[in-house]
Structure 1
Amino acid sequence: MYYLDRNRFQTSTENLKNLKIIVIGDFILDEYLIGEVNRISPEAPVPVVWVRKEKITLGGAGNVVKNLSSLGVQSIVLGRAGKDDKAKILSELLEKENTDSQKNFLIQSAEVPTILKTRVIAGHQQVCRIDKEELKPITEKEEKQLIQAFLDRIDSADGVILSDYDKGTLTPKIIYEISRICLERKKIVTVDPQVSHFFQYQGASILTPNHHEAGKALGRKLETDSEILQAAEEITEKLSCPSLMITRGEKGMSLYLTSQKEIFHIPTVAREVFDVTGAGDTVISTYTAYHAAGLSELDASVVSNAAAGVVVAKLGAETVTPEELKNSLSAMGTFQG
C-alpha cells in the first residue's frame, strides 16, 4: 500500500484557496425533472412521469468548475455558449461558484444554442434524456478570440484543465495553442480527453482517460495490468507527455510516469457505488488542484482516487470537499505521520 504524508496533504489543502485554475472546454447545462411513475400513457406504451421537482445545474466543463469550487479553488472560465436565455442561466450559475467573474470569457454564438441536457428521473431511475445541442466547431474568428483570452489570463493561473466533451469548443488549433503556451510558460495542463482528439494533446502534463477511451484510441481492449502498461508506454511516447492516468472502474486507476518508466496501480476505495456520473470530472479537478498545490503526481493521484470513491457514493454529478477527502484517506489508512 502507498502511504501519503499527512502533513504534506494538510499543507497542500491549505494552499488550495490561493490557486487559480483555468477551465477551458465545453460548458453544458444539466436539467433534472424528478418525479413519480404511477401509470402508462394511453397515447403510447411509455410511462407518465409526474414531475415533483426540477433543478438545473452546471454540466460538462461546468462540473469541473463545481468540483474545483468545492475544494476552495477559484476557476477562470473560457468557453462558448449560445446567444440565448440559457446562456444567462449558465453565466449566473458560474458566478455562484468560485469563479473570477472579471476574467471569465464565454463566447456567445448565434450559430449554436447553449447546450442543455434534460434528464427525466423517476424513483432514482433515469427514464430518458433529451439533448438540445448543435455540434458545430467554433469559427476561426472565435478561435482567435479564445486564444487571445487565454493568453491574457494564463500568467495569473496556476494550472489549466482542458475539459473536452467533443461539442466544438476544443478544436485542433485551440488544443495545439493551449498546450504550446502552457509548455512555454511551464504551466500544468491536464486533459480529460475525447477519443476523436486523443493524439492531438501533444505535450500535456497528464491525460486522464478511462480504460475504454484509451483502448479505443489504440484500437484494442485494455483489461490486464500488462496491457495497461503497454498502452501507457505507447500513448506517452506518441504524445510526449510526462505522465498518464488511466481510470479503471472497480480496478481503481493506474498512473504511468514517463521519466521513471514505472506504473503505479492504485486500488479503488469506493465502499459503495451508487452513481458514477461525473466521477471523471472529480478525478481531473482534484488531481490538478492538489498537484498545483504542491503534491507530487503520485500523491495527487492517490488523493484524486479517494475523491472518486466519495462522489460515486452520491446521486448525480456531485463534488467532494477537503474534509470529506481527509476523512476518506484516514478511513483507508492512507496517511503516514
Structure 2
Amino acid sequence: MTSSHLNFKNKHILVVGDVMLDRYWHGGTSRISPEAPVQVVKVSSVEDRPGGAANVALGLAKLGVRVSLVGVVGNDENAAALEVALKKEGVDCHFVVAESLPTITKLRVVSRHQQLIRLDFEEREDSLSQNQAIEEKVEQLLGDVNAVVFSDYAKGCLADVTTLIAHANAADVPSFVDPKGSDFSIYQGATLVKPNLVEFEAIVGECRDSKDIEQKGVELRERYGWQALLVTRGEDGLMLLEKNKAPFSLATAAKEVFDVTGAGDTVVAVLTAVFATSKRFSDAVDYANQAAGYVVGKLGTASIDAQTLDAIMFARSHSSNFGVLSPDDLKEQIRMAQLNGEKIVFTNGCFDILHPGHVAYIKQAKALGDRLIVAVNTDASVKRLKGEKRPVNDLVHRMAVLEGVGAIDWVTWFDEDTPLEIIKMLTPDILVKGGDYTVASIVGAEHVIEHGGEVKVLSFVDGYSTTSIIEKANS
C-alpha cells in the first residue's frame, strides 16, 4: 500500500478503555522556594489534553477516522473538560458516569520543556460496577464499526474485556488490544495484541535476544488464539508475529526521542486505522512505526495526522539523500553538507500550481549557494492561508512536482502558518524570499542572521500567479 492510498474518512473505529485527562501547567522558574529546597514555578498557562484511551481516540480522529469512544468518567468538571476536548476533534463520546469515582487526571508541571513533577488523581474499584453499562454500549456500537481498539491502562474499565472481545468476534469486527497487567489470558481471541517489551517479559519471562522473543511470542500468540502479536521494543524497533507468516521486524523510525508519552497510543491508533484500510498487518506495522518515530520527537502527548503520515511515507520511499526528505532527515543531510563547506539556501511557499514564474525564482535562489531547500506548506496550512478551496493539489503531489525541478536539491514540508520553526530547525546559510519584502519583515530572518547567515529578497517574474491560473481555468 503506498502513501497516496491513505484514506481513512470512510472508516469508523470504536475505542474502549481507560480514559483520562492529561493536564499541563506551564511556567517559568527563576527562584528556589524559601519554604523548601524546590523550584518555584510561576504558572502562565494551563493545557488540557485527552489521555489514555481518549488519546487513542484523538489519534484516530486526527487521521480522519470517524471515532466512537467508550470509557468511564466521574461526575466532575474534569470529565466535562475531557469531553469538550474530544468533541472539538470530532470524537463521539459514550461515557459511563461513575458517581463514586473521579475522572482520572494526570497533572504535569512543565518548565522550559522539562517535566518537573506529575500528580495523579484517581481512585479504583476492585470490581467495576459499571461493567454491564460498558458492555451494553459496546454491543450497540459494534454493528457499525470497522475495528475496535481496547486500550487497557489497568484502571478498571476493561475488567471484563474477555466478554467484550467475544462480542467483537461475534460481530466479525477485528479487535486490537494495547494490554496491561500480568494476565494476558483475558485478551483471549483478540485479533492483535500489542505489548511493549517490559509488558511482554512480565508474561513470558526475560528474553535474551530476538530469537527468544520470537519463540516465546509465537507460543503466547498460539496459546490465546491471536491472529498477530506485535512487540514494541523501544530503540530496538518492533517485531510482528503473525499467524502462518514469517516474523517481521522493523528498526525504530525515531531519529531523536524527546518524550515517549503517548507513543504506544499512537502505535495502536495508526496500526488499527491502516489495517482497517489495507487488511495487512505488515502495512499497519510499517505505518505505525513511522508514526511513533514522529511523535516521540514532540513534547507531551502528541498525535499525527494523515497528511503528515502520508508525507513521511512518501519521503521514506525515496532512498536517495536528495529529493523529498522529512524535516528530521533533512536536518542530518544539511549538517553533513555544511561540514563539506556547502552553502545551504532555503525558500518556502505553497507551490500549488507550479508555473514559469516559480521556476525562474527557484533558479535564481539556487544560484545563491550550493544546495537549495524548498519547504512546502501542508494542505492544512494552505487552507488557513488561502481559504477552503485551496490547495488545488495535495501536499504529496506538490512535493513530487517540485522534486522534478533540477535546481532543487531537497523538498520538505511544514504545518505551521509560517516557516519559522523549520527555519530554526534547519538553520540555512541563506534565506530567500520573493516579493516586496524588507529583510526585517521576513519570517526567520533574525534567526538566520544571528547564526551568521544572509537574507536575500528576489523579484518574482511578472505575469504569473497561481490565483490568476485558477481564475482563468474557471472562467
Fold match, TM over 0.5?
A: yes
Q: Once the 2 structures are TM-superposed, how far is the Cα of residue 293 of structure 1 from its aligned partner?
A: 1.2
Distance 1:76 1:323, change over 3 A: same
Residue 232 of structure 2 aligns with an amino acid whose one-letter code is T
Specify the alignment match of 1:21 in structure 2. Answer: 13
Q: Relative contact order (alpha carbons < 8 A, sep ≥ 6): 1 or 2 greater?
A: 1
Q: State the distance in 1 between where 2:318 and 2:278 align.
A: 18
Of 236, 247, 259, which aligns to 2:221?
Answer: 236
1:166 maps to 2:154: yes
Q: Once the 2 structures are TM-superposed, how far is the Cα of residue 187 of structure 1 from its aligned partner?
A: 0.8
Specify the alignment match of 1:81 in structure 2. Answer: 73
Deviation by residue 1:84-104 (Cα, 9 ceiling, x = unmatched) = 12221122122112223xxx3
1:246 maps to 2:235: no
Residue 294 of structure 1 aligns with an amino acid whose one-letter code is S
1:297 maps to 2:281: yes
1:192 maps to 2:166: no
Range that drifts further, 227-236 or 155-164: 227-236
How does 1:143-292 map onto structure 2 within 5 Å? Answer: 143-171=131-159, 173=160, 175-218=161-204, 220-260=205-245, 262-292=246-276
Distance 1:187 1:294, change over 3 A: same
Q: Once the 2 structures are TM-superposed, how far is the Cα of residue 108 of structure 1 from its aligned partner?
A: 1.0
Q: State the distance in 1 between where 2:56 and 2:186 align.
A: 21
Q: State the distance in 2 between where 1:83 and 1:275 align.
A: 31
Give the unaligned 5+ runs of structure 2: 320-475
Contact residue 128 and residue 156 of structure 2 kept, 8 A: no
Q: Once the 2 structures are TM-superposed, how far is the Cα of residue 132 of structure 1 from its aligned partner?
A: 0.7
Secondary structure of 1:17's counterpart equals coil
Specify the alignment match of 1:10 in structure 2. Answer: 4
Of 92, 101, 105, which aligns to 1:112?
Answer: 101
Specify the alignment match of 2:326 in structure 1. Answer: none
Residue 108 of structure 1 aligns with an amino acid whose one-letter code is V
Q: Once the 2 structures are TM-superposed, how far is the Cα of residue 295 of structure 1 from its aligned partner?
A: 4.0
Distance 1:223 1:67, change over 3 A: farther
Contact residue 108 and residue 118 of structure 2 kept, 8 A: yes
Contact residue 203 and residue 241 of structure 1 kept, 8 A: yes
Of 299, 317, 322, which aligns to 1:333?
Answer: 317
Secondary structure of 1:194's counterpart equals coil
Q: State the distance in 2 between where 1:295 and 1:194 align.
A: 25
Secondary structure of 2:143's counterpart equals helix
Specify the alignment match of 2:52 in structure 1. Answer: 60
Contact residue 58 and residue 91 of structure 2 kept, 8 A: no
Q: Matched residues, percent identical?
A: 35
Distance 1:168 1:33, change over 3 A: same
Specify the alignment match of 2:453 in structure 1. Answer: none
Q: What number of residue pairs does the alignment pair up?
A: 319
Deviation by residue 1:239-287 (Cα, 9 ceiling, x = unmatched) = 1101000011111100001222x21111111222211111100000000
Distance 1:252 1:222, change over 3 A: same
Q: Once the 2 structures are TM-superposed, how far is the Cα of residue 21 of structure 1 from its aligned partner?
A: 0.7
Q: State the distance in 2 between where 1:137 and 1:168 align.
A: 8
Q: State the distance in 1 between where 2:228 and 2:137 align.
A: 28
Residue 20 of structure 2 aligns with an amino acid whose one-letter code is I
Instruction: Report the structure number with the largest CA radius of gyration.
Output: 2
| Pairwise CA RMSD | 1.5
Q: State the distance in 2 between where 1:278 and 1:253 align.
A: 16
Specify the alignment match of 2:25 in structure 1. Answer: 33
Distance 1:334 1:79, change over 3 A: farther
Residue 115 of structure 1 aligns with an amino acid whose one-letter code is I
Specify the alignment match of 2:382 in structure 1. Answer: none
Q: State the distance in 2 between where 1:109 and 1:146 align.
A: 11
Q: State the distance in 1 between where 2:294 and 2:271 align.
A: 14
Secondary structure of 2:35's counterpart equals coil
Q: Once the 2 structures are TM-superposed, how far is the Cα of residue 69 of structure 1 from its aligned partner?
A: 0.8
Contact residue 106 and residue 121 of structure 2 kept, 8 A: yes
Give the unaligned 5+ runs of structure 1: none
Distance 1:64 1:223, change over 3 A: farther
Q: State the distance in 2 between where 1:185 and 1:116 align.
A: 33
Q: State the distance in 2 between where 1:85 and 1:234 align.
A: 46
Q: State the distance in 2 between where 1:272 and 1:78 align.
A: 34
Contact residue 68 and residue 285 of structure 1 kept, 8 A: yes
Q: When the two structures are superposed, what TM-score results if normalisation uses the length of structure 2? A: 0.65
Specify the alignment match of 2:434 in structure 1. Answer: none
Secondary structure of 1:272's counterpart equals coil
Q: Once the 2 structures are TM-superposed, how far is the Cα of residue 80 of structure 1 from its aligned partner?
A: 0.6
